[in-house]
Protein backbone atom coordinates (compact mmCIF):
# COMPACT_ATOMS: atom_id res chain seq x y z
CA UNK A 1 0.00 0.00 0.00
CA UNK A 2 1.28 3.44 -0.89
CA UNK A 3 0.72 6.25 1.59
CA UNK A 4 0.18 9.87 0.61
CA UNK A 5 0.39 12.85 2.93
CA UNK A 6 -1.09 16.30 2.46
CA UNK A 7 1.04 18.65 4.53
CA UNK A 8 -1.28 21.59 3.83
CA UNK A 9 -4.50 19.85 4.95
CA UNK A 10 -4.30 20.99 8.56
CA UNK A 11 -4.60 17.36 9.70
CA UNK A 12 -1.52 16.19 11.62
CA UNK A 13 0.66 13.86 9.56
CA UNK A 14 0.49 11.00 12.08
CA UNK A 15 -3.34 11.12 11.95
CA UNK A 16 -3.28 11.03 8.14
CA UNK A 17 -1.03 7.98 8.29
CA UNK A 18 -3.30 6.29 10.83
CA UNK A 19 -6.39 7.00 8.69
CA UNK A 20 -4.74 5.52 5.63
CA UNK A 21 -3.70 2.35 7.45
CA UNK A 22 -7.21 1.93 8.88
CA UNK A 23 -8.66 2.50 5.41
CA UNK A 24 -6.28 -0.09 3.99
CA UNK A 25 -7.55 -2.63 6.51
CA UNK A 26 -11.21 -1.76 5.89
CA UNK A 27 -10.85 -2.10 2.12
CA UNK A 28 -8.76 -5.26 2.27
CA UNK A 29 -5.65 -3.60 0.82
CA UNK A 30 -3.91 -4.53 4.08
CA UNK A 31 -4.51 -8.04 5.42
CA UNK A 32 -4.18 -9.70 8.81
CA UNK A 33 -0.58 -10.46 9.65
CA UNK A 34 0.77 -8.30 6.82
CA UNK A 35 3.97 -6.50 7.69
CA UNK A 36 3.94 -2.72 7.47
CA UNK A 37 6.98 -0.80 6.25
CA UNK A 38 9.71 -0.28 8.83
CA UNK A 39 9.68 3.00 10.70
CA UNK A 40 12.86 4.17 9.01
CA UNK A 41 11.83 3.19 5.48
CA UNK A 42 8.37 4.74 5.79
CA UNK A 43 9.79 7.96 7.26
CA UNK A 44 12.27 8.19 4.38
CA UNK A 45 9.61 7.44 1.77
CA UNK A 46 7.22 10.07 3.15
CA UNK A 47 10.02 12.50 4.07
CA UNK A 48 8.86 12.82 7.66
CA UNK A 49 10.42 12.41 11.09
CA UNK A 50 10.65 8.75 12.18
CA UNK A 51 9.03 9.75 15.49
CA UNK A 52 5.89 10.60 13.52
CA UNK A 53 5.71 7.05 12.21
CA UNK A 54 6.39 5.70 15.71
CA UNK A 55 3.51 7.77 17.07
CA UNK A 56 1.10 6.54 14.38
CA UNK A 57 2.13 2.89 14.86
CA UNK A 58 1.84 3.14 18.67
CA UNK A 59 -1.59 4.76 18.50
CA UNK A 60 -2.73 2.05 16.08
CA UNK A 61 -1.29 -0.59 18.41
CA UNK A 62 -3.33 0.92 21.25
CA UNK A 63 -6.45 0.63 19.05
CA UNK A 64 -5.60 -2.99 18.22
CA UNK A 65 -5.09 -2.27 14.52
CA UNK A 66 -1.35 -2.93 14.57
CA UNK A 67 0.79 -5.40 16.48
CA UNK A 68 4.31 -4.18 17.24
CA UNK A 69 6.79 -7.04 17.59
CA UNK A 70 10.13 -6.21 19.17
CA UNK A 71 12.89 -6.51 16.60
CA UNK A 72 10.50 -7.76 13.93
CA UNK A 73 8.37 -4.75 13.00
CA UNK A 74 4.74 -3.73 12.78
CA UNK A 75 2.02 -6.04 11.52
CA UNK A 76 -1.69 -5.69 10.86
CA UNK A 77 -3.60 -7.20 13.78
CA UNK A 78 -5.67 -10.31 13.13
CA UNK A 79 -8.73 -9.22 15.14
CA UNK A 80 -9.05 -5.85 13.42
CA UNK A 81 -9.36 -7.42 9.98
CA UNK A 82 -12.49 -9.31 11.05
CA UNK A 83 -13.84 -6.03 12.41
CA UNK A 84 -13.17 -4.48 9.00
CA UNK A 85 -15.23 -7.21 7.35
CA UNK A 86 -18.09 -6.55 9.76
CA UNK A 87 -17.86 -2.81 9.07
CA UNK A 88 -17.94 -3.47 5.34
CA UNK A 89 -21.07 -5.61 5.66
CA UNK A 90 -22.67 -2.98 7.89
CA UNK A 91 -21.91 -0.30 5.32
CA UNK A 92 -23.64 -2.32 2.63
CA UNK A 93 -26.70 -2.85 4.86
CA UNK A 94 -26.92 0.85 5.67
CA UNK A 95 -26.40 1.77 2.00
CA UNK A 96 -29.25 -0.50 0.98
CA UNK A 97 -31.52 0.94 3.67
CA UNK A 98 -30.66 4.49 2.58
CA UNK A 99 -31.48 3.66 -1.04
CA UNK A 100 -34.88 2.25 0.02
CA UNK A 101 -35.68 5.25 2.20
CA UNK A 102 -34.71 7.65 -0.60
CA UNK A 103 -36.95 5.67 -2.96
CA UNK A 104 -39.80 6.39 -0.53
CA UNK A 105 -39.16 10.08 -1.16
CA UNK A 106 -37.35 10.89 2.10
CA UNK A 107 -34.71 13.62 1.99
CA UNK A 108 -31.16 13.13 3.23
CA UNK A 109 -31.98 15.22 6.31
CA UNK A 110 -35.10 13.14 7.06
CA UNK A 111 -33.10 9.92 6.74
CA UNK A 112 -30.43 11.34 9.05
CA UNK A 113 -33.05 12.24 11.67
CA UNK A 114 -34.60 8.77 11.48
CA UNK A 115 -31.23 7.05 11.89
CA UNK A 116 -30.27 9.29 14.83
CA UNK A 117 -33.66 8.70 16.46
CA UNK A 118 -33.34 4.94 16.08
CA UNK A 119 -29.81 4.99 17.48
CA UNK A 120 -31.01 6.98 20.50
CA UNK A 121 -33.90 4.54 21.06
CA UNK A 122 -31.54 1.54 20.84
CA UNK A 123 -29.12 3.19 23.28
CA UNK A 124 -31.95 3.89 25.72
CA UNK A 125 -33.18 0.30 25.42
CA UNK A 126 -29.68 -1.09 26.12
CA UNK A 127 -29.31 1.20 29.11
CA UNK A 128 -32.61 0.11 30.66
CA UNK A 129 -31.81 -3.56 30.04
CA UNK A 130 -28.53 -3.21 31.96
CA UNK A 131 -30.12 -1.58 35.02
At 81 the pLDDT is: 66
Q: Quote the DSSP letter at residue 53.
A: H
Q: Is residue 54 part of a domain?
A: yes
At 71 the pLDDT is: 87
Q: Is residue 66 part of a domain?
A: yes
Q: Is residue 7 part of a domain?
A: no
Whether 34 and 58 map to the same domain: the answer is: yes
Q: Is residue 1 part of a domain?
A: no
Q: Is residue 109 part of a domain?
A: yes
SS3 17: helix
Q: With a cut of 90, say whether residue 118 has pLDDT above it.
A: yes
Q: Is residue 4 part of a domain?
A: no
Whether 97 and 121 map to the same domain: the answer is: yes
Whether 90 and 36 map to the same domain: the answer is: no
Whether 105 and 55 map to the same domain: the answer is: no
How far is Cα 107 from Cα 102, in angstroms, rounded to an integer? 7
Residues making up the chain, counted from first to last = 131
Task: Please report, for the domain that includes residue 60, its CATH number.
Answer: 1.10.10.10
At 74 the pLDDT is: 94
Q: With a cut of 90, say whether residue 2 has pLDDT above it.
A: no
- Predicted structure pTM score: 0.64
Number of domains the chain contains: 2
pLDDT in tens, 36-90: 999 999 999 999 999 999 999 999 999 889 999 988 899 998 877 677 677 778 8
SS3 29: coil
Domain that holds residue 93: 81-130
Q: Is residue 55 part of a domain?
A: yes
The string of DSSP letters for the chain reads ------TTSSS-HHHHHHHHHHHHHHHTSS-TTPBPPPHHHHHHHHT--HHHHHHHHHHHHHHTSEEEETTTEEEE-HHHHHHHHHHHHHHHHHHHHHHHHHHTT--HHHHHHHHHHHHHHHHHHHHHHH-
Amino acid sequence: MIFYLNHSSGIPVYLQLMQQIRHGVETGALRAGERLPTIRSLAEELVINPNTVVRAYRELEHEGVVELRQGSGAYIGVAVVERGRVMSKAGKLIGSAIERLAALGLSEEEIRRIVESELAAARKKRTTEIT
